[in-house]
Amino acid sequence: MPAAMTIDLSAIPADQRDAVAAVLRERDALKEINRRLEHLVAELNHAVHGKRSEKLSEDERQLSFEDLETAIAEVEESQDTQLSSKGKTRRPVRRNRGNLPKDLPRIEHVIEPASLECPHCQKMGGCGVMHKIGEDRTERLDIVPAQLRVIVTVRPKYACRACTDGVTQMPAPAHLIEGGLPTEGAIAHVLVSKYADHLPLHRQSQILARSGIDIHRGTLADWVGTAAFHLGPVVDRLAEHLKVSTKLFMDETTAPVLDPGRGKTKTGYLWALARDDRAWGGDDPPGVVFFYAPDRRGENAEKFLRGFDGVLQLDGYQGYNCLTRPSRKGGDPIRVAHCWAHARRKLKEVFDRDGSEIAAEGLRRIAEFYRVEANIRGTAPGQRLSARQARTVPLVAAFGEWLQEQRLRVSAKSRLGEKLAYIHRHWDGLQTFLHDGRVEIDSNSVENLIRPIALNRKNALFAGHDEGGRTWGRIASLIETAKTNVVEPFAYLKATLEAIAAGHPKSRIDELLPWNFTPSS
């Protein structure tokens, strides 16, 4: 950028100096604004396209985007204010039209003129009256904090004056917590706030206190525990539905749990068992169940998968090896499909660290597999299988030959050698998708489902005990299954808790599964 031109104000006539000085100040202010904008745009581009972006978690990337976009908006508003103060044109207003649902309640504010007498006629000595010929309507989104209200149930008592045969009164409606404070809607709100919006109970208690409602965290915990107990059979039935599928995903993520005996946290695990057949048009609705276990031992996977005999898509964790053995408990040996995204990630780590040409070549070859997958996504299993047999099988075969050649060239103890050995160990599972059109090339579907668990972990820090981990998994199962079926979690949980409180029969429990929920009009 060329150096700023300096102006000697003493050489300017005295009556013009103030105006020139003001223009110079405005110029310098706008230059500073542009400099800051250029810096922020560069930072945003780096977050999106830079090499380090893959090392950031999804939540970290989103936080980076939010803060940078907020800063850009602040600078642009400063720039607009500068322009407006000088009577200059602001930037075009950025409008977000078409995103206000028609069913949102609307409050109209009609701004009428002070008088309907025609001002032009008045000037001419007449008394004309103006008539409405049209109107301009603008809509803005308004947000009112959560509305707290008290539901008062009144049950009148009636008696006959002509006799003394007794008093007539309607029975009290059933509630999930008999004689308790909350409605089922209040309980659902606490569940969604904690497990979908990642707001711990002590913070919810603080928010309620600002509205004058003094409810201790312990009381909220009682509500959550009661709801978890009554929702347990629904989650168990959801798991049964998933395990009769022909193909599932499985993954596990850490769930820090307080260890009272040591005064610190220990590492528990939430194991996610998921179904998502949308990529090939399967008829079964998507769903996920989170099972809690205090450790990561493979026997937990055996326990959770008891009764399932289909294809299981997973990462390369060795704890799953027991599932493929003839000695597997709870069913026949499972056929596994390993994840190419994990294989790619291994090579990406090496490439990002030292720019390895071998890793770069491996990434290029894997990218060719994914190009085929992008073209066949959403097609029927038969079409997917045909395309893979014709286009992907030769590519994978060539990758296998390349892999063996590189393993002979590279030290097995090197970082790259270890990554190549990982791919070699899982080679059979990495080829499963080539022989079954229902199988995906990776297990990204289940990884996307467990991301909210990681976010809740960051906000809540840890579960209070192992039972808290089980409750966490139970409620998260229903919320995430509702979300994947485009069902609003609060409406679903409220209706489900109301149905359970009213004595919904166990023989019709399938009606309470998230994908069967129909919102009331």
Among residues 281, 462, 471, the alpha carbon closest in space to that of 378 is found at 281
Beta bridge partners of 254: 269
DSSP string computed for 75-117: HHHHHHHHHHHTTPPPPPP---TT-S-TTS---------S--B
Q: How far apart are CA 195 and CA 12, in angstroms?
A: 68
Q: Does the pLDDT of residue 408 top 90, yes or no?
A: yes
DSSP-assigned letters across all residues of 37-71:
HHHHHHHHHHHHHSGGGGGS-HHHHHHHHHHHHHH
| Cβ–Cβ < 8 Å for 314, 470 | no
Q: pLDDT at residue 95 above 60?
A: no
Average pLDDT in the chain? 82
Instruction: For 243-253, write each residue's pLDDT tens digit.
Output: 999 999 988 88
**What is the predicted pLDDT for the residue at 80?**
65
pLDDT for res 429: 93
132-156: pLDDT as tens digits: 888 888 777 777 777 888 888 888 9
* Predicted confidence (pLDDT) per residue in 16-61, tens digit: 777 777 777 777 777 777 776 676 666 666 655 655 444 455 555 5
For 8, the 3-state DSSP assignment is coil
State mean pLDDT over 264-283: 84
Residue whose C-alpha is closest to residue 516's, from 499, 308, 501: 499
Higher pLDDT, 391 or 453: 391
Q: At what angle do helices 184-195 and 489-501 cross, to 10 degrees?
A: 140
Phi and psi at residue 330, to the nearest 5°: 95, 10
Residue count of the chain, please give it: 521
Locate 180 and state its tokens.
């308790």
> Residue 275 pairs with which residues in a beta bridge?
287
* Euclidean distance between CA atoms 149 and 334, whole angstroms: 53
Instruction: Tell me if 187 sits within 8 A of 215, measured CB to CB.
Output: no
